[in-house]
Amino acid sequence: MPEPLLLETIAETKAWARAESRAGRSIGFVPTMGALHAGHRSLIERARQENDRVIVSIFVNPTQFGPNEDFRKYPRTLVADLKVCEQAGADAVFSPESKEMYLDDARTWVDVGGLTDTLCGLSRPGHFRGVCTVVAKLFNIVRPDRAYFGRKDAQQLRVIEAMNRDLNFGIEIVPCDIVRESDGLAMSSRNRYLTPEQRRQALCLSHALNRCRASIQAGHRDALKLIAEMTESIRQQPDAEIDYIQIVDADTLKDVERVEGTVLVALAVKIGTTRLIDNLRITVDPG
């Protein structure tokens, strides 16, 4: 595969994208914050299969980090990331500086109501305002035909779907399955923060979800009892601190009392100082 074209300004990214569109070529877009792993690679490969051109953004977005979060230490590995993009078949990479994306006197933000006041939105106030604003800007810059998002960030995916619809971007949002390590741990750029012992303990997230799936398949429907079962499982790990465990309607993200239709079983757990998320989407047939 040839090296992807590295674009660092909005103007040159717009020029590249508009030229491809004028030539009648479809554009697939994969927005990332870098520190790419096999999960990101799967998104790029999917985009490669379904589009004439593929562009990846690599931008650690400051506006989605809270004051006590890991913005400054978030891994920045552009050289390695470009190699992943090349191997996965990306044609271009947009990697701007913060000053390129945000004017000093910027005063416009994108908020999606309702879907952002639960799950990660509750424990990370302002997070989704930052996510939606930067994704809206990227959508305007690239104007892709399709954009690819992983299901691991399930709330983010649902929020972006709503924003795309409500603001008439007209982009096809393509959800992609969670990619896991061989032992079940969901791939994340933050996994590299874990010590070997914490890495072992982090398996409690996927184990709890698998236990919940088995219980649902066995006929259990009481959401509070299922949550209690997962809570007990995770608390067995000494370094685990639960942020939330919720079972919500997959569309509205509202808590449910009984598991019916399609639900999202979502959890966020700190292992030491590293906050990890994971989820399970499951559909229960009525009756």
Please write the tens of the pLDDT for every residue from 158-179. Answer: 999 999 999 999 999 999 999 9
What is the per-residue pLDDT across 234-260, written as a single tens digit (0 to 9) for each?
Answer: 999 999 999 999 999 999 999 999 999
Taking only the tens place, the pLDDT of each residue in 59-81 is: 999 999 998 888 998 999 999 99
287: pLDDT strictly greater than 70 = no
Unique residue bearing structure tokens 């603001």: 167
| Residues 116-137, mean pLDDT to the nearest whole number | 96
| pTM reported for the whole predicted model | 0.97
For residue 271, CA distances in Å to 153, 232, 237, 277 come to: 18, 15, 9, 11
Domains, the chain, in order of start with CATH, read 5-176 (3.40.50.620), 189-281 (3.30.1300.10)
- Residues labelled as active-site residues: 40
Contact 178, 265 (CB under 8 A): no
Give the tokens for residue 216.
């649902």
- Cβ count near 205 (within 10 Å): 26
Structure tokens at 157: 């995916």
- Convert the pLDDT of each residue in 29-68 to its tens digit: 999 999 999 999 999 999 999 999 999 999 999 999 998 8
CA distance 211 to 267: 13
Contact 272, 236 (CB under 8 A): no
Question: Residue 261: is its pLDDT beyond 80?
Answer: yes
Reply yes or no on whether the pLDDT at 273 is more than 80: yes
Residue 192: which pLDDT band, with cuts at 50, 70 and 90? very high
Between the CA of residue 126 and those of 111, 120, 153, 159, 179, what are the distances in Å? 9, 10, 16, 13, 27
Q: What integer pLDDT is reported at residue 70 of this predicted model?
A: 86
- The pLDDT value recorded for residue 180 is 98
